[in-house]
Amino acid sequence: MQMQFTLAPTPDDASLEKGRLMFAAPVEFLKGVVAMSGLPAADRIEVCFAGRSNVGKSSLINALTNRKNLARASNTPGRTQEINYFTTEGGPYLVDLPGYGYAQAPVAIVAKWQQLLKSYLAGRVTLRRAFVLIDTRHGIKAVDEEILTLLDRSAVTFQVVMTKSDKVNRAEREQAIAQVKAALGKHPAAYPEIVVTSSEKGEGIETLRAIIASLN
């Protein structure tokens, strides 16, 4: 039987408060990693954020942590060249992965990023969940399917977070959600709840905080 995908429900008050407290505490940049040998000690769980270049990862991380410049946002795709680690107080590592699919950089450098991304997703034993960001304006594309398939093969549970929901109208939003649900049906590692977010408007941010806090 094919799994049924739904929008993530609003968490209960206790879960919302747990998420609020986790992200109200200091969240600090730990290090940028350019090779698997540079990863920090696997002494706690971690969650990662993956997505096409310019999908809004930095903006989402900044919104989650209530910090404007924790993760550096850029209008130029492909600027995140490292695996960036952030620490939460008593919680998991937050891991910002290099954007995939497009980058204004030499081909050899892009290839190196992609290999690092694949090695990380396949080999990090403390990775509890990958949040795969999908632009609500575009839905799941072929380049996203490559990452989703890699996560399936690596047996890493992933959850789709739809970004930039404020950039579309209601009909476009519903169409995008339907497209994402249909695409996820082919992926056994997909978590069945989709989170719809807008970093600018704050939609879905409290829900995502609560989800991350629940994994700890």
> What's the number of CA atoms in the CB half-sphere (13 Å) around residue 208?
30
The full set of domain ranges for the chain reads: 6-214
| Residue 57, H or E segment | helix 57-65
Instruction: Specify the pLDDT at position 209.
Output: 98
pTM: 0.93
CA dihedral 212, 154, 6, 23 (to 10 degrees): 10
| Residue 162 phi, psi (nearest 5) | -85, 130
Instruction: Specify the pLDDT at position 208.
Output: 98
Instruction: Specify the pLDDT at position 129.
Output: 97
Instruction: Specify the pLDDT at position 74.
Output: 47
Give the residue from 208, 126, 112, 101 showing the smallest Cα distance to 160: 208
Q: From the options 3.20.20.70, 1.10.340.30, 3.40.50.300, 3.30.360.10, give the CATH code of 6-214.
A: 3.40.50.300
Instruction: Specify the pLDDT at position 131.
Output: 98
pLDDT tens for the chain, residues 1 to 216: 567 999 999 999 999 999 999 999 999 999 998 889 999 999 999 999 999 988 999 899 999 999 887 876 544 444 457 889 999 998 999 999 888 876 566 777 777 877 888 899 888 999 999 999 999 999 999 989 989 998 999 899 999 999 999 999 999 999 999 999 999 999 999 999 999 999 999 999 999 999 999 998
CA Rg value for the chain: 16
Q: Which residues pair with residue 93 across a beta bridge?
A: 46
Q: At what angle do helices 205-214 and 57-65 cross, to 10 degrees?
A: 80
| Residue 51, H or E segment | strand 46-51
